A and B are shown apart, each in its own frame.
Chain A
Amino acid sequence: MDKEIRDNLLKLFQGKLNEAMRFYLETCTRCGICTEACHVYASMGHIKYIAAYRHEIVRRIYKKYFKGRGRLWPSVGEAKELSEMALEELYEAAYSCTGCRRCMVYCPFGIDTQMLMSIAKLLLIGAHTEPEILTMLADTSVEKGKSLDLFREGFLTGIKNLEQEVVKKWKIEAKHTAIPVDVEGADLLYVALAGAHSIVPAAAVFNAAGENWTLSFFEAVNFGAFVGDPTKTKLILDRIINEARRLKVKEVCICECGTAFRVMKQLSGKQPFKVSSITEVHARYLRESRIKVDKSKVLGPITYHDPCQIARNGGVIDEPRFILRHLTDDYREMSPEPKYNWCCGGGGGLVALGEETLDFRMKSASVKVDQVKNTKAKVLATACENCHTQLSDLNTHYKMDVDVRFLSSMVADALVH
Chain B
Amino acid sequence: METIYYIILIPMAYLAFAVFIVGIIVRLVTLFREPRNPTTLQIYPERRPRWLWALYDTFFLPTVRRHNPVFWVFLMFFHVCFLLLIIGHLELIGEFSVFQIIPHEVFLGRGFVGLILSICLLFFLFRRFLSPYRDLSVPEDYYLLILLFLTVLFGSQMDWARTWYDYGNLSVVEYREYLSSLFSLRPELSPDLTSSGHSFMLVLHVFFANLFLMFFPFSQLMHSFLSLPMNKLRRG
Contacts and interface: CB of A to CB of B under 8 A. Distances in A.
A172 interface: no
Contacts, number: 135
Interface size class of B (residues with CB under 8 A): 35 or more
Interface string B107-146: 0000000000000000000000001110111111101000
A60 to B, nearest CB: 8
A112 interface: yes
Contacts of B229: 23
A36 B67 CA distance: 8
Interface stretch (B83-91, B171-179, B192-200, B216-224): B216-224
B39 A109 contact: no
Nearest to B38: A267
B67 to A, nearest CB: 6
A300 B39 CA distance: 40
A56 B138 contact: yes
A109 B67 CA distance: 14
A15 to B, nearest CB: 11
A30 B135 CA distance: 10
Interface in A106-138: 106-112, 115
Nearest to B218: A69
A361 to B, nearest CB: 23
B61 A108 contact: yes
Contacts of B132: 32, 35, 47, 50
A28 B220 contact: yes
A76 B234 contact: no
B45 interface: yes
Given A33-B67, A47-B131, A110 B136 contact: no
B226 A76 contact: no
A22 B136 contact: no
Contacts of B233: 20, 23, 110, 112
A106 B67 contact: yes
A315 B139 contact: no
Interface residues of A, number: 52
A115 B234 CA distance: 12
B131 A77 contact: no
Contacts of A28: 220
B169 to A, nearest CB: 39
Nearest to A21: B37
Contact of B136 (A26, A50, A107, A266): A50
Contacts of A269: 38
Given A19-B32, A33-B63, A68 B218 contact: yes
Interface in B35-50: 35-46
Interface string B194-236: 0000000000000000000000001010110011011101100
A110 B143 CA distance: 25
Contacts of A108: 57, 61, 63-64, 227
Nearest to B131: A47
B45 A339 contact: yes
B19 to A, nearest CB: 12
A312 B223 contact: no
Interface in A370-412: none
B33 to A, nearest CB: 8
B105 interface: no
B1 interface: no
A164 interface: no
Nearest to A24: B230
A299 to B, nearest CB: 31
Contacts of A105: 43, 63
A35 B68 CA distance: 11
A105 B63 CA distance: 7
10 contacts: A30-B141, A35-B132, A47-B136, A56-B138, A67-B218, A75-B139, A266-B39, A267-B38, A313-B43, A317-B45
Interface of A: 17-24, 26-33, 35-36, 47, 50, 52-53, 56, 67-69, 75-78, 101, 104-112, 115, 266-267, 269, 311-315, 317, 338-339
Given A30-B141, A31-B71, A106-B63, 18 more contacts: A18-B35, A19-B37, A20-B37, A27-B222, A30-B138, A53-B135, A76-B138, A77-B140, A101-B43, A105-B43, A108-B63, A109-B223, A110-B43, A115-B41, A315-B44, A315-B45, A317-B45, A339-B43
